[in-house]
C-alpha cells in the first residue's frame, strides 16, 4: 500500500493562521483516522495523505530604533481538511506511518527552536530568523521524502522500523524543545 504525505510550509506573521482547522502536535495525543477529513483522491495509488507543517511567527523588540531582542513561536500542525485516507486500504500500521510524518514535523520544530535559541539579537535578526525558517523547512521536506522513499511508503517494514527508531531517538535528543 502506498501512502503519501503533503507538506504544508507556512510562515505565519499574523493571527489568521490560528483560525485554520489544525491539530497541534502533542506527545500524548496521537492521530486517529477520524482526524483525516479531507476529500479522498480515489484515483491515487496512495492509501492516505498526511498534511502537516511548521507554523512560525516572530516579533522583534526595539529601543531607540535598535533591535534589542526577539520572541519567536514555532509549532507543528496537522491539517485535517487536507489529510485523507481510503478506509479499505488502511489499517493501524498505515496510521503509524502517517503519525511518523507528523512526528518528523515535530522533530523539525524542535530543531528549529534549538537553532533559534542559538541566535542573538542584532540589526539583521529578521534576516537570520527567515534564513533559519527556510533552512529547517527544506530539511523537513527532504526528510519527509527520504522517509517515504526508504520505507517505500511503509511497504518496507524493516526500513519503517528503522525510521520509527530514528525519529524517536531524535525527538528524545531535542526533548527540551518539545511542543506541549
pLDDT at 7 over 90: no
Which one-letter DSSP state was computed for residue 28? T
On average, the pLDDT of the chain sits at 91
User: Given a cut of 50, is residue 86 above it in pLDDT?
Assistant: yes
pLDDT over 90 at 82, yes or no: yes
pLDDT band at 42 (very low <50, low <70, confident <90, very high): confident
Least confident of 3-12, 101-110, 141-150: 3-12
Burial call 87-122: b when 16+ CB within 10 Å, e when fewer? eebbeeebbebbbbbbbbbbbbbbbbbebbeeeeee
How many residues appear in the chain?
A: 180
pLDDT tens column, 58-69: 999 999 999 999
**Is pLDDT at 4 greater than 50 in this prediction?**
no
Inform me whether the pLDDT recorded for 130 exceeds 90. yes
Distant-in-sequence, close-in-space partners of 161: CB < 8 Å, separation ≥ 6: none
What is the distance between the alpha carbons of residues 96 and 160, in angstroms, rounded to a whole number?
10
Amino acid at each position: 500500500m502506498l501512502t503519501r504525505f503533503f507538506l504544508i510550509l507556512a510562515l505565519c506573521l499574523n493571527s489568521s493562521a490560528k483560525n485554520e482547522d489544525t491539530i497541534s502536535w502533542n506527545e500524548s495525543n496521537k492521530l486517529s483516522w477520524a482526524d483525516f477529513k479531507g476529500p479522498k483522491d480515489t484515483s491515487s495509488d496512495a492509501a492516505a495523505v498526511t498534511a502537516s507543517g511548521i507554523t512560525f511567527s516572530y516579533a522583534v523588540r526595539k529601543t531607540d530604533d535598535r533591535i534589542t531582542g526577539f520572541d519567536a513561536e514555532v509549532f507543528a500542525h496537522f491539517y485535517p481538511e487536507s489529510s485523507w485516507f481510503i478506509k479499505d486500504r488502511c489499517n493501524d500500521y498505515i496510521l503509524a506511518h502517517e503519525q511518523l510524518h507528523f512526528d518528523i514535523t515535530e522533530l523539525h520544530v524542535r530543531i528549529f527552536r534549538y537553532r533559534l535559541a542559538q541566535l542573538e539579537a542584532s540589526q539583521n535578526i529578521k534576516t537570520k530568523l527567515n534564513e533559519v525558517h527556510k533552512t529547517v523547512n527544506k530539511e523537513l521536506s527532504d526528510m519527509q521524502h527520504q522517509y517515504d522513499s526508504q520505507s517505500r511508503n511503509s511497504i518496507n517494514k524493516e526500513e519503517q522500523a528503522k525510521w520509527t527508531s530514528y525519529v524517536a531517538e531524535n525527538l528524545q535528543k531535542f526533548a527540551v524543545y518539545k511542543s506541549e
